[in-house]
Chains A and B, each alone.
Chain A
Amino acid sequence: MTEQEIIEKTNRVFEESFEIEPARLIPEAHIFTDLGLDSLDIVDLIVALQSSFGVKIRTDEKVREIRTLGDVYHFIAAIKNGEQAE
């Protein structure tokens, strides 16, 4: 999966699940303060990302380190690249 594909798929999650306009979806956007998500939304973000990317991340401790949209891209990329390496 290319970086661009990860970005597009992740952005689609934010557009569809959280009704955020595409123009606001920039890598440095803070998912809480800039994009307006809260603790409940993070649960839904995990569910949506698991469904979109076919990954299991609910118990991954690194989820807690996510702050920006760019962090989400990197987090997913690391998992997908790890899958490829395996």
Chain B
Amino acid sequence: MITELFSATVLVGILASGIRLATPYLYASIGESFGQRSGVLNLGVEGQMLMGAFASFYIAFSTGNLWLGLLAAIIAGAIMGLGMAFVTVNLQAEQGISGIGFYLFGLGLSDLLFQKLLGTVETVSGFSKIYIPGLSDLPVVGQIFFSQNALVYGAFALVPIAWFVLNKTTLGLKIRAVGENPEAADSLGVSVARVRYFTIILGGILSGVAGASLSIALLNVFQQNMTSGLGFIAVALVYFGGWRPWGILGGALLFSLVNSLQLWVQVLGIPIPSDIAVMMPYIITILALVITVSRVRAPSALTKPFGRGE
């Protein structure tokens, strides 16, 4: 049975679903990395994802329009991000704990709205696969990379965009300056508050989209607590990836491939207890944190509120 795992079709299946599973992590982690690069740790990603997942599902379900659903997720994520920005920037609240507060808020509110507005588990037909002409016909890679839905492509496109914005634009420079040395940035006329508002709301939007990618593109249902810890993993992947988009991509792929491998192990009936298999990605992430953290330095101002000290 073990040998079955290495047959061509199964390997292609593992890789294709691994790419798909990386989608929510990529959106949420890249979004979170913007916040962290500017010095704000947002632990409420899970709550933002749940709100995004519910909003997009509900709108897509009631209007039949997936793009309107996606817009709803963006708005829901942006509102959650706005709240987080106000609390951490204006009120200078402890970031880790505020994030937990927003997590509980999103967890409860999405559940409440689900029970009141939907009542039962419904399904939508989510974003369908887009076969890239020419490329999707290629053997092996066609099925793995070029036969996915729009949100999957979007997630992977986000990586080079985020890299470009952070490293090659003035905006990126401001974000990094605010995260490394807010006092210096402030004295040069960069508004620390404005930059942080931007990154936290952007993070909220991307977390909302991450939720939507689950509820209207990958799973096409909404359930209470459907993210089940995914948002927290996304935060861990930012550390794992050393706050760099390409590093985050590596972490997200590693995590989702191990997960996808684990799913296939169960499908093929290989006698490894599934609970132990599910454990593996988490253990690997901890080990990876041990290895990477000592090499990479976090943004200096991470978790530190900035006040001008009037």
Do A and B truly interact?
no
Seen from chain A, the residues whose Cβ lies within 8 Å of a Cβ on chain B are none
Q: Which residues of B contact A (CB under 8 A)?
A: none
